[in-house]
Amino acid sequence: MLGATSLWGYHHVTKFEHFDTDVSAFEVVYAFAFVVFFLQLLLATFDRPKRVTPRQVDTLAKLKVVAVVPLYNEDVDAVIATIRGLLGQTRLPDAIFIRDDGSNKVDYLPTELWAIEAANEAGVPLVWVRDRNRGKRATHVAASLRFAGWADAYLTIDSDSCLAPDALENLIKPLADPEVMSVAGVFLTYNLKGVIARAVDLLCTASQLTDRSATSALGSVLVNSGGISLYRAKVIDECRHGYANEEFFGRRVEFSDDSYLTIQALLRGKTVQQSNAFAFCVMPERLGNHRRQFLRWLRGSFIRSFWRFKYLPLGRIAYWVHALKWVQTIASTIIVAWLIAIKPVADAIAWLRGGGTDALLADAKMLAITLGMLIVFGYVQLLRIFTVRRSDQSRLAQVFWFIVLAPVATLWQWSVLRVWRLWAIASCMRFKWGTRQQIEVAIGGDHETVLASASAAAIGWMRDETTIFFPGQSVRDERNRSGSTT
């Protein structure tokens, strides 16, 4: 299907443009794009979930994994789902570290008390810290400082990441290879509501299972997911200072934490993806939230490109994969600009000056065929989503939304997201995280019922800073306001 479509599109598109040479510039660009696209899909098929031997299972069971959860103005139901997901793992984390980053729109005290009791029942140590607003990186650094020398790996997730029951069990398996420094999981959209959330789910799922899977097959994943990733402890422990104080042209960088940690892992070994380790994350349902999220991602991607070119060794395949991506991005952007703006405008001006309409008709035909090619390529790439089965979505519904939204998502990616990328590059010095000032997406749930007993237990026992709980006899009644034992 891919080969036939490509040959058909290649034949029809390239016959419209020739530049006094046997091979036109468009022929070269389209041939290059096809080769890259084909190799990417081919490499992605070689990426398989890591399997382990019984002996490796015993070794991995001895690793101490700390789950790190940053929290700021998140929907309470989403936070509860996240904690439940951690405590419902087939391979439990050895400790959970939650840091409330100065939330000012939600009172998490009942949630905190409920989490303590739930962790007690599961037998998992829990640390809940309240602090002033300093960003997601401060949470990772705080966890590293607290568990340095004890933790073997850090599971980094978001406060709206609901892990599949076997997520950690699968995610930890690649660490059986001592050269692997980080493992990326696959995040799916929790709230499949509306066109935006569903389209983003299509794009992100396909991107992870094609682009990232291809680089994973080479042991050179360039960026992990904030929703679910696993790092060897030394990756974060050894770069704490630089991570907490990163600057770009003298200005403090607060976002792009996942790509920073991934490049640190790359400098120390292999970075891979475990494509059967899933987390369900809440995605924007409104255009404004969607735009803000992608601009943050795109700004971070552009800034991180400088560090990759500067610090990745030339002998590492990751360097050349990254360079190839930029060549592909620049070439495709030029093509899009030429087809949509430059040539049509030039031909329109010529027509206004008395020229014929043949050039304009050729422009329209070429643009239509190119858009058709993009849609077909989009369908081919997005086919990878069918390697994932969701219990909350029937196969028929999955096929329906694939057919309906694949063209929309593909054209959105090639038009609007491309313009946003240019704006992100132009405004890359805006380093603010873009922290939510209110709860943006509520997933719905029964948190009032869940937290009712915890709310009652909170009366007469208040703290300002930290609650530390380890399995065993409760010491809650022996703590003072600061959270320290009396």
d(CA 447, CA 205): 29
How far, in Å, are 8, 278, 373, 446, 468 from residue 164 at the CA level? Answer: 42, 6, 36, 20, 26
pLDDT in 10s for each residue of the chain, 486 residues: 555 555 555 554 555 454 444 555 666 667 777 788 888 888 998 999 999 999 999 999 999 999 999 999 988 998 999 999 999 999 999 999 999 998 988 889 999 999 999 999 999 999 999 999 888 999 999 999 999 999 999 999 999 999 999 999 999 999 999 999 999 999 999 888 889 999 999 999 999 999 999 999 999 999 999 999 999 999 999 999 999 988 888 788 887 899 999 999 999 999 999 999 999 998 888 999 899 989 988 988 888 898 899 999 999 999 999 998 888 888 888 887 888 888 888 888 888 888 788 888 888 888 888 888 889 888 988 999 999 988 888 899 999 999 999 999 999 998 899 899 989 988 887 766 554 555 555 555 555 554 554 433 333 222 333 333 333 333 333 333 223 333
Pairing of strands 180-189, 65-71: unpaired
CATH number of 54-312, picked from 3.30.2080.10, 2.40.50.100, 3.90.550.10, 1.20.1260.10: 3.90.550.10
Give Cβ neighbours of residue 446 (< 8 Å, ≥ 6 apart).
Answer: 77
99: nearest Cα among 135, 44, 139: 139
Residue 428 tokens, joined: 């890359």
Residue whose tokens read 């989009």: 378
pTM above 0.85, yes or no: no
Asked whether 65 and 154 are in contact (CB, 8 A), the reply is: yes
133 φψ region: left (φ > 0), alpha (ψ -120 to 50), beta (else) = beta
d(CA 440, CA 289): 8
d(CA 37, CA 31): 10
- The CB density around residue 355, as the number of other CB atoms within 10 Å, is 13
Write down the domain spans for the chain.
2-45+321-414, 54-312
Residue 381 tokens, joined: 């790439």
| DSSP secondary structure code for residue 173 in this structure | G
Backbone torsions φ then ψ of 357, nearest 5 degrees? -100, 0
d(CA 443, CA 439): 11
